């Protein structure tokens, strides 16, 4: 017999090293681009858009999509209160629930005060969507999808798979109704464009840097 454990450990160590090196490079690039946010905004804009492509790392995509959506919704306000005589204007605030692939109960972002749930995914597998919906007992979820397919195509693909699996249209409809919104890569680029019009580029860049440090266990004291 041959003990393959050392070889497997070497492979894992090499993979971890490569991933760590890539993520540190990403963080360093974020710092550089963030500094260029004012002096060379076009370069910073191009950097953000490139991180919203379907072929980028899932963790990077989640971080950048969060930064963009947080800035987008942060420009919107609603009138909110517990009684009609106690209503105040409040800004929408998007919170990130934890790291990518964390045990977050199927929820990646939460919006206050509306209580909207967001889940980031890179698949169009109906099992993934319906499982997340089951976790919150059919509470509506907005899915941020790492895909350049149109939102209509994504929704139709999910429905077609669901009908093939569950057969009963009423069951499928109950789950499809719980998909509050599909946000694809183009939707994110459009949102980023709106954010730029409000001169929020630096806010997005700073958020990307901050969330990257948390995601990749980067020492917050490092430059």
Rounded Cα distance between 105 and 2, Å, is: 41
Tens digits of residue pLDDT in 139-194: 999 999 999 999 999 999 999 999 999 999 999 999 999 999 999 999 999 999 99
According to DSSP, residue 56 is labeled S
- Parallel/antiparallel/unpaired status of strands 141-145 and 77-81: unpaired
pTM for the whole structure:
0.85
Angle subtended by helix axes 201-215 and 58-74, to nearest 10: 140
Q: What is the pLDDT of residue 123?
A: 93
Lowest-confidence segment of 52-61, 87-96, 114-123, 186-195 by average pLDDT: 52-61
Q: Which residues contact 8 (CB under 8 A, 6 or more apart)?
A: none
Q: What size, in residues, is the chain?
A: 223
Rounded Cα distance between 115 and 140, Å, is: 10
User: What are the residues facing 68 on neighbouring strands?
Assistant: none
Which tokens is 150 given?
């149109």
Tens digits of residue pLDDT in 66-109: 999 999 999 999 999 989 899 999 999 999 997 765 555 669 99
- Contact assessment for residue 52 and residue 191, using Cβ atoms and an 8 Å cutoff: no
Q: By C-alpha distance, which of 126, 132, 140 is closest to 172?
A: 126
Q: What is the pLDDT of residue 223?
A: 47
Share of the chain above pLDDT 90, in %: 66
What architecture is domain 5-215? 3-Layer(aba) Sandwich (3.40)
Spatial strand order of the sheet with 179-183 comes to 93-96, 109-112, 116-121, 141-145, 179-183
């Amino acid at each position: 017999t041959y003990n393959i454990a050392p070889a497997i450990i070497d492979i894992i160590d090499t993979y971890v090293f490569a991933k760590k090196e890539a993520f540190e490079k990403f963080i360093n690039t974020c710092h550089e681009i963030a500094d260029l946010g004012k002096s060379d905004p076009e370069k910073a804009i191009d950097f953000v858009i490139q991180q919203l492509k379907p072929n980028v790392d899932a963790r990077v995509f989640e971080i950048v999509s969060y930064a963009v959506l947080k800035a987008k919704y942060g420009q919107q306000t609603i009138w909110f209160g517990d009684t009609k005589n106690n209503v105040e204007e409040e800004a929408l605030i998007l919170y990130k629930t934890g790291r990518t692939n964390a045990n977050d109960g199927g929820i990646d972002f939460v919006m206050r005060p509306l209580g909207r749930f967001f889940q980031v995914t890179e698949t169009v597998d109906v099992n993934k969507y319906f499982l997340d919906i089951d976790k919150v007992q059919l509470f509506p979820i907005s899915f941020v999808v790492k895909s350049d397919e149109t939102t209509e195509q994504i929704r139709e693909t999910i429905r077609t798979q669901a009908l093939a699996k569950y057969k009963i249209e009423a069951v499928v409809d109950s789950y499809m109704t719980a998909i509050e919104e599909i946000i694809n890569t183009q939707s994110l680029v459009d949102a980023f464009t709106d954010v730029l019009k409000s001169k929020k580029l630096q806010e997005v860049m700073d958020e990307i840097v901050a969330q990257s440090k948390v995601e990749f266990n980067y020492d917050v004291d490092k430059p």
